[in-house]
Structure 1
Amino acid sequence: MTEVNEGAVDLVEMIRGGRVESVHRGHAVICDGAGEIVEAWGDPSVIIYPRSSCKMMQALPLLESGAGRDLTQRQLALACASHQGAAVHTSTVAAWLHDLGLGESDLRCGAHMPYSDDAKADLIRAGEAACQLHNNCSGKHAGFLTLSRHLGAGPDYVEPDHPVQLAVRRAFEEVTGMESPGYGIDGCSAPNFATRLDALGAAMGRFARAREGGNPREDAMARLTAAMAAEPVLVAGEGRACTDLMRAMGGKAAVKTGAEAVFIAIIPELDRGIAVKIVDGGTRASEAVIATLLVRLGVLPAEAPVARRLTQGPITNARGKVTGGYEVRLA
């Protein structure tokens, strides 16, 4: 199995004063709905942690078990989200927990300051501390709690041997088509299962092909994809790449970032899934590559402001002067 730095190729160059200042190397793959590779850059067999890019896979048991049968699209979008802790996110998660007869203290994701500048400022002005509702993964954890309640399992749903995480691992391995070689503990304390990049891309291709009315797994895949595309603000938040990209595509695709520069896309109308990994963990590069590939496939207008911003820049300094930009290299 290839380690992440092996076989990487130059994907994004940072330009300043007409000179290449730095280069982001990585891997990318496009797969079809059967899980077959259509196009690839670098080495698609690299083993990675998908981090938050795989939240739709972590949510599969929630729907397949029947636990999430009555959940709304907004709740499903939050189950797949890395949100910024704005009021729209925290209030929706809080209401979801209330419906379960649970509260913020039942979450196991930990607290951090919201990514939303407005929400952060509100807390500071009020002299209040952030709580677990502000955690970008609180929606995913509300989904875990819903599944745990349905299974009659214990409260520590993030433990690798808990029925919730055992169900997640089964679904993850079945959809990627390979046994995971292991896991790391994610920022939200849940296990994150390693896989090959091409297996992640294949899983996204299978999500793209799934339609409601098939078997329970296809139903779950299709519902989660549709929820993400329909509720881009809940998946991330204002000004975030995921939200802006999905808005610009008008519901044609679902996209999701993950920590350490992973990015995926699910494109049902083209029967295509994409997976990207940048070796140095530079998010600006994974955003540039995913946007370039979405433009290349014709689902993201090249003239859309988010496409230009992510693939070209400009990079500006504190005085607003343009100092450089990006160039994506996809031969």
Structure 2
Amino acid sequence: MLAKHEPLVVATRGDAVESIHYGSAVLLDANGEVRASYGEPQAAYYPRSALKPLFAVGMLRAGLELDDQQLALASASHSGAPIHQQVAASTLKAAGLDATALGNSTDLPYGVAERQAYVAQGGTATQLAQNCSGKHAALVALSELKGWDTANYLHDERLLQMLQDTVEELTGEKISGVSTDGCGTPVYLISLVGLARGFARLASAKAGTPEARVAKAMSTHPELVAGEGRDVTALMRALPRAVAKDGFEGIQAVALPDGTALAVKIADGGDRARMPITIKLLTEFLGEAAPAALAELATSPALGGGAPVGVLKAL
């Protein structure tokens, strides 16, 4: 059954609305109460890569030791810059492994500038360059630690059960479906309310817990969670100690240190519409406390002849 989405973001050109992005969104306050809601946030969606920080919590709970950079990259959809690939390689090396142990799909770097530089230097599609290599390096390192099947870690029931149990515990709901993400790991159907709740658990966790360690690593190293020029990195820099993660097909989750959290799903999967509605929810909730830097992420211009003639903005 199709979710009952609402118009969230429009693209204008001149005086006309040229395009409309529908979607669903929810913002929970520090007590977990719904403060803003659009569309059908209780419906089930695939959070895609927004699940990575929750997976990282599960890996820490299972005994994997990672430093903050490695932990941030395990939670990342990175741009494939040299530092990203180096940190992923360091996770593997610490476990006595190398890039041949990775089971994710191959790709060129996700970031435009990173891809251009990489190709100019003769780089080809590899598993290490692919944007999920930090997560996969951590997963196979955990499998090595546990004595599980590293050659088949993406299908090891012990690892898969740990990931599912962690997602269900952090989100406070049972998953309603399972599929496979683009990189090969499982992806679970959960509601936007559950996703926001899971991120709130990370951002507001007691210091020293696995949840707090993931949140600290991400907020301390936002450049590893995405990359230079990426909106998720810019958002975390604008909101110190916030935890933010995007996911393919129009997913965005954000949580603040007090446990306020939001989750967004753009119905058509349009990536450009994630941030305008996210910033609207944050700025309306924060009011005068909203950092000015958030405004830079709220809109983007539509160009005509190289000059602005319209705008992408939240309704």
- Work out whether the TM-score is over 0.5: yes
1:234 maps onto 2:224 in alignment: yes
Distance change (3 Å), C-alpha of 1:25 and 1:117? closer
Contact 1:33–1:207, Cα closer than 8 Å, also in 2: no
Q: CA deviation at 1:309?
A: 4.0
Q: Deviations along 1:196-220, whole A, 9 cap, x unmatched?
A: 121112222222331125xxxxx11
Counterpart of 2:22, as a letter, is R
Q: Deviations over 1:93-139 (max 9, x none)?
A: 11221121111111111210112334323433333312111110000
Quote the residue 1:243 is aligned against.
233
AA aligned opposite 2:200: G
Distance in 2 (alpha carbons) for counterparts of 1:33 and 1:157: 37
Question: How far apart, CA to CA, are the structure 1 residues paired with 2:93 and 2:291?
Answer: 43
Aligned-pair CA distance for 1:33: 4.7
Which whole-Å deviations, capped at 9, do the CAs of 1:290-313 have from their partners, x for residues lacking one? Answer: 122222233984632xx3343222
Residue 328 (str. 1) matches residue 314 (str. 2): yes
Q: How high is the TM-score relative to the length of structure 2?
A: 0.93
* Residues 1:194 and 2:189 aligned together: yes
Structure 2: which amino acid aligns with 1:313? S
* Counterpart pick for 1:105 among 96, 100, 104: 100
Letter in 2 for 1:76: L
Residue 53 (structure 1) aligns with: 50
Shift of the 32–98 alpha-carbon distance from structure 1 to 2, 3 Å rule, reads: same
Which blocks of at least 5 consecutive residues in structure 1 are unaligned? Answer: 214-218
- Range with bigger deviation, 134-143 or 59-68: 59-68
Distance (whole Å) between structure 2 residues aligned to residue 48 and residue 211 of structure 1: 29
1:36–1:202 Cα contact (<8 Å) kept: no
Q: Deviations over 1:160-200 (max 9, x none)?
A: x5311210100101111121111111011001011112111
- Pick closer, same or farther for the CA change 1:102–1:65 going to 2, 3 Å: same
Is it true that 1:180 corresponds to 2:175 in the alignment?
A: yes
Are residues 1:263 and 2:252 paired?
yes
Residue 274 (structure 1) aligns with: 262
The 1:91/1:171 distance shift into structure 2, 3 A limit, reads same
Q: Percent identity?
A: 36
Aligned residues: 313
Q: Is the 8 A contact 2:171 2:194 kept in 1?
A: yes
Q: Map 1:100-249 onto structure 2 (within 5 A).
A: 100-155=95-150, 156-159=152-155, 161-213=156-208, 219-249=209-239
CA contact (8 A) 1:123 1:130 kept: no
* 1:314 aligned to which of 291, 301, 304: 301
2:281 corresponds to: 293
TM-score (norm 1): 0.89
Q: CA RMSD in A?
A: 1.8
Work out whether residues 263 and 277 of structure 1, in 8 Å CA contact, stay in contact via their aligned partners in 2: yes
Give the CA deviation at 1:327: 2.8
> Aligned partner of 2:235: which letter?
L
Which residue in 1 is equivalent to 2:16? Answer: 19
* Structure 1 contact 262–275 (Cα < 8 Å) conserved: yes
